[in-house]
Structures are given as structure tokens and as C-alpha cells.
């Protein structure tokens, strides 16, 4: 220890000798520069603060250039520069703009294929119809839905006496819009009573993410939301939902992994009542490989909700992965055996060219699409608008912001 103290003293001694030299440095030609800066500042504006560095201003202008400007000219130039920067900032995208971006792959697949076919024909004949049919099937509309579209297209061509192949694009958009709007799409939330939203779907479809985004959307609309972590079997499901609950700033009711899901829902209902929540959203397991247990589990949860929360408006939404295309339809059919499905949340539309499956779902199932996921951020879950969706399939640029 004595040796270390001695070494420390030895290291400190040179610093004591240097101190007088450091004190002398400010006296060498520093003060005249400060005086020059003060004089220039007084000429421009005593109330404005500018930073002086080696004879130049932050704007890159020299002392001589600043001296040639009046204070008013300088401030006006600065204001103009700030306004230019504001104009150059990227504007926040609206809903339709996000939809256009999210459906890029699907639109390239559908619109690109349709336009290629139409450009290669000078008249409307059976060969043209066959090639259009192939494009729609490849875009995952499904065989039945494609046949329905082609039958309607033939009728329109005949009734309107269309001879120009280019006019078929508008007719196709019209038919697809009609199919998408065929289902009555009511809001999932009612304002005059509490609401329970039961989220079902296979694992990996995006249930947890959709719950987080839906919670964020509802809280942004002024709703008080409580979540129930009733998927107690999938590893890390509760932890993942907790992350989304924190991001959306909502309460999460949970129990230990492996707990009875109906018990979690029971506790969540009690919490929602005590907090006077507007919406209770319940996550559930998605184990299709054991359909019998899945059906029993959903039935038990439904009984608990009916018994403990009879005054609540109940909505059952199934989450489907758009990248699975036509397989999503078979998933809906299986879950409809276990629960009354009121609506669909279609996720991952931005990552697939199979967005045509939306049309197939609306055409073949008596279940409306309620929400679509068109991106990865928390704001990228949109209420499904059939007209906007159909327009985004056939429109490459935005003409009006919605």
C-alpha cells in the first residue's frame, strides 16, 4: 500500500507544476476574438444568440457576408430555410396510401397479370377469357370465386356491348368490389354496453400481434381496454402478449402457464367490470391438431362469458394469415365448428402476393373481413374497407387521400 501511495504522489506532482502554465493561456489573443464577436452581435441584434467559430457562422457565412446583411434580411432567410426543411419532411401516410403500399405484391400479381393479358389481345374472345381466368386462379382467388367472376364478366360484356379489351379492367374492379361488399360488415364495438372480443385462430397466424394493434387502435379512440391471456399452453404466449399490452398501455390479466383458460377469462371479466372497461379482448389457443380439446375449450370460455358477463356485446374474430392463401378458408371452416365466427382479421397482406384470397374468402364464406394487416408497425391494422381494397388492387398511384 505504501508503494502504491508513493506512486500516486509521484504521478500527481507534475500536474501541480503545470497549473500556472494553463492559467496563462487565456491571456494569449483570446479576448480580442471575443470582442470581435460581441461587436458583430451588437450590429445584428442584441437579442439573438449566434455561435462564432473561427470567423464563420453556423450557416457557413463569413463575417464579411453577415456584415453585408441587415438583421431583417438575415432572419427572413433563416425563416425561409426552416420552411423549406418542413416541406421536405416526409408526410405521414394516410390509410389509403398505407393500403396501396401494403398491397404492392398482390397488385403486381393481379394487375400486372391482367394488363399483360389485355395488351396482347385486340378483341374480346374465349381465349382472352381463359387467360384472365388463369391469372385470377394464380392470384389465389380460388377456382369457385374465379368462375363466379368470369361469369359476371361475360354478362357485363354482353349487356354493355364492350369490344375493347382495355375496358375489362374496370369491369373486373366493379365485380370484385361487389363481391367484397356482399357481406354486412358491422362494427365490432358498440358504445352503449361493455364488449368482449374473443380472438381465435391457429398459432402463427398473428393473433398476439393483432390483439396488440387492435388494443392500440381502441385506446387511441378513447376506449378503455383489458386483455386476457387465455392462451396458456403455447410457450411464451403470455410473455409476448405482455409486451404488446405494455406498448398499447392496457392492463393484462394472466395466470401461470398451463392454467385453465376459462379461469383466466373469469378473472379478466371481474377486472373489466371493476375498471369499468369498454372492451375485454381475450387471446385463445390455436391447437388445430387437437380439434376436440380446442372445441371444448372455446365452448367453456363462451359459457363463462355468457354466465358472468351477460350484458356484454360479444364478438368472435378469427385471425388468418394471408400468406396461406386458400388454406385460410379451410381454417375458418374448422373453427366455425367450435365457435360462431363473426368476423375475420387478415394479417400479413404486405408480405404476400396472395391477397386475392380476400376475395375468395368473402365469396365462399358467410363471414365478413373486419380488419386487415398491411404492415409491421402498431398503426398498420386497418378497418377493412371493401371499396378501397378493390381500388388498391387496380390503382398504382394515390389520387386522393382518405
Q: Half-sphere exposure (CA, 13 Å, Cβ side) for 397?
A: 1
For residue range 108-122, list pLDDT tens digits in order: 888 889 999 999 999
Q: Quick check: 278 and 217 in contact, CB under 8 A?
A: no
Mean pLDDT, rounded, for 372-387: 89
Cα–Cα distance measured from residue 225 to residue 227, given in angstroms and rounded to the nearest whole number:
7
Q: According to the 3-state scheme, what is the secondary structure of 196-218?
A: EEEEECCCCCCHHHHHHHHHHHH
The pLDDT-based confidence of 401 (bands split at 50, 70, 90) is: very low
The pLDDT-based confidence of 38 (bands split at 50, 70, 90) is: very low
Q: Quick check: 317 and 198 in contact, CB under 8 A?
A: yes
- Helix/strand/coil for 251: strand
Lowest mean pLDDT among 22-36, 58-72, 270-284: 22-36
The x, y and z cell numbers of residue 65, run together, are: 457576408
Is residue 33 over pLDDT 70?
Answer: no
Using a 10 angstrom Cβ sphere, with 0-12 exposed, 13-18 middle and 19 or more buried, the burial of residue 301 is buried
Q: pLDDT at position 6, please?
A: 43
Q: Fold for domain 195-341?
A: Rossmann fold (3.40.50)
The x, y and z cell numbers of residue 379, run together, are: 398503426
Report percent pLDDT > 90 for the chain: 46
Cα–Cα distance measured from residue 28 to residue 26, given in angstroms and rounded to the nearest whole number:
6
Q: Quick check: 387 and 181 in contact, CB under 8 A?
A: yes
The pLDDT-based confidence of 73 (bands split at 50, 70, 90) is: low
Cα–Cα distance measured from residue 243 to residue 248, given in angstroms and rounded to the nearest whole number:
9
For residue range 185-201, list pLDDT tens digits in order: 788 988 889 999 999 99
Cα–Cα distance measured from residue 74 to residue 52, given in angstroms and rounded to the nearest whole number:
16
Q: Quick check: 266 and 308 in contact, CB under 8 A?
A: yes
Cell numbers 374465379: residue: 146
The x, y and z cell numbers of residue 260, run together, are: 385453465
Domain map of the chain by residue range?
2-71, 195-341
Q: pLDDT at position 184, please?
A: 76
Pick from 356, 330, 361: nearest CA to 345: 361
Q: Quick check: 180 and 365 in contact, CB under 8 A?
A: no
For residue range 215-230, list pLDDT tens digits in order: 999 999 999 999 999 9
Cα–Cα distance measured from residue 369 to residue 6, given in angstroms and rounded to the nearest whole number:
80
First-to-final CA distance of the chain: 76
Mean pLDDT, rounded, for 154-181: 94
Q: pLDDT at position 271, please?
A: 98
The pLDDT-based confidence of 88 (bands split at 50, 70, 90) is: very low
Cα–Cα distance measured from residue 355 to residue 351, given in angstroms and rounded to the nearest whole number:
9
- Helix/strand/coil for 13: helix
The two beta strands, 369-373 and 381-383, are antiparallel
Mean pLDDT, rounded, for 159-182: 93
Mean pLDDT, rounded, for 84-96: 53
Is residue 175 over pLDDT 80?
Answer: yes
Q: Quick check: 373 and 205 in contact, CB under 8 A?
A: no
Q: Quick check: 394 and 172 in contact, CB under 8 A?
A: yes
Q: Quick check: 227 and 281 in contact, CB under 8 A?
A: yes
The residues pairing with 316 across neighbouring beta strands, listed in sequence order, are 198
Cα–Cα distance measured from residue 113 to residue 132, given in angstroms and rounded to the nearest whole number:
8
C-alpha 262: how far from chain center: 30
| Claim: this prediction has a pTM higher than 0.85 | no
Averaged pLDDT score across all residues of the chain: 80
Is residue 7 over pLDDT 50?
Answer: no
Q: Quick check: 385 and 165 in contact, CB under 8 A?
A: no
Integer-rounded Cα Rg, in Å, for the chain is 33
Q: pLDDT at position 96, please?
A: 72
Amino acid at each position: 500500500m505504501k508503494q502504491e501511495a508513493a506512486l500516486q504522489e509521484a504521478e500527481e506532482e507534475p500536474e501541480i507544476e503545470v497549473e500556472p502554465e494553463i492559467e496563462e493561456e487565456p491571456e494569449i489573443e483570446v479576448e480580442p476574438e471575443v470582442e470581435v464577436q460581441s461587436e458583430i452581435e451588437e450590429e445584428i441584434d442584441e437579442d439573438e444568440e449566434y455561435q462564432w467559430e473561427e470567423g464563420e457562422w453556423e450557416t457557413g457565412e463569413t463575417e464579411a457576408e453577415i456584415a453585408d446583411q441587415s438583421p431583417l434580411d438575415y432572419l427572413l432567410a433563416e425563416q425561409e430555410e426552416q420552411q423549406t426543411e418542413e416541406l421536405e419532411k416526409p408526410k405521414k401516410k394516410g390509410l389509403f396510401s398505407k393500403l396501396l403500399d401494403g398491397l404492392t405484391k398482390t397488385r403486381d400479381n393481379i394487375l400486372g397479370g391482367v394488363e399483360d393479358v389485355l395488351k396482347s389481345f385486340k378483341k374480346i374472345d374465349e381465349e382472352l377469357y381463359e387467360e384472365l381466368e388463369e391469372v385470377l386462379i394464380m392470384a389465389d382467388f380460388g377456382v369457385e370465386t374465379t368462375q363466379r367472376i368470369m361469369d359476371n364478366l361475360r354478362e357485363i360484356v354482353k349487356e354493355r356491348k364492350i369490344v375493347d379489351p382495355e375496358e375489362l379492367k374496370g369491369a373486373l374492379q366493379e365485380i370484385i368490389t361487389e363481391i367484397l361488399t356482399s357481406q354486412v360488415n358491422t362494427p365490432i364495438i358498440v358504445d352503449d354496453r361493455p364488449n368482449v372480443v374473443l380472438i381465435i385462430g391457429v398459432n402463427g397466424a398473428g393473433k398476439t400481434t393483432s390483439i396488440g394493434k387492435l388494443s392500440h387502435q381502441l385506446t387511441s379512440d378513447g376506449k378503455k381496454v383489458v386483455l386476457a391471456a387465455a392462451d396458456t399452453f403455447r410457450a411464451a404466449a403470455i410473455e409476448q402478449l405482455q409486451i404488446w399490452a405494455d406498448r398499447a398501455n392496457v392492463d393484462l390479466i394472466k395466470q401461470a402457464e398451463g392454467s385453465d383458460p376459462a379461469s383466466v377469462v373469469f378473472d379478466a371479466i371481474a377486472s373489466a367490470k371493476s375498471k369499468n372497461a369498454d372492451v375485454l379482448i381475450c387471446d385463445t389457443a390455436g391447437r388445430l391438431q387437437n380439434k376436440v380439446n380446442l372445441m371444448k375449450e372455446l365452448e367453456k370460455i363462451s359459457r363463462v362469458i355468457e354466465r358472468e358477463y351477460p350484458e356484454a356485446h360479444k364478438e368472435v374474430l378469427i385471425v388468418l394469415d394471408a400468406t396461406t392463401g386458400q388454406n385460410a378458408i379451410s381454417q375458418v371452416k374448422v373453427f366455425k365448428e367450435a365457435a360462431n365466427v363473426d368476423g375475420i382479421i387478415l394479417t400479413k397482406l404486405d408480405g404476400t402476393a396472395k391477397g386475392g384470397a380476400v376475395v375468395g374468402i368473402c365469396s365462399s364464406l358467410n363471414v365478413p373481413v373486419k380488419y386487415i394487416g398491411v404492415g409491421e408497425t402498431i398503426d398498420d391494422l386497418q378497418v377493412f374497407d371493401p371499396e378501397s381494397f378493390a381500388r388498391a388492387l387496380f390503382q398504382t398511384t394515390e389520387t386522393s387521400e382518405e
